[in-house]
Amino acid sequence: MGHTPGKWVVKHQVNVFGGDRSVAACGGYATNTDQGEHVLENEANARLIATAPLLLEACRAFIDADMYWTDEANAVLELMESAVAKAEGRNP
């Protein structure tokens, strides 16, 4: 089974939704709810999580593009392949 399909969006600054389905809630722990920098951190975490499907799509596109020009590009390719495998549950 794959992840929740569709575009993921942040609602209410810290909640991530895929369509009508809640994907993640960032924050809410007693040590992570003050009005200071933790709030900003929670919002940043939510934005990062909401971007995960797009990042996965970008990695897959790069892998499928067969653009292996340099050792540096190959290193990026290996990193992307590892990230995709982990996201798909193929890599612990």
Measured between alpha carbons, how far is 45 from 61 in angstroms, rounded to an integer? 24
Residue 3: C-alpha distances to residues 34, 37, 53, 67 (Å):
31, 30, 8, 27
Confidence of residue 7 (pLDDT cuts 50, 70, 90): confident
Per cent of the chain over pLDDT 70 is: 84
pLDDT in tens, 67-79: 667 788 888 888 8
Measured between alpha carbons, how far is 17 from 8 in angstroms, rounded to an integer? 5
pLDDT in tens, 14-23: 899 999 999 9
Measured between alpha carbons, how far is 54 from 51 in angstroms, rounded to an integer? 5
Q: Does the model's pTM come out above 0.75?
A: no
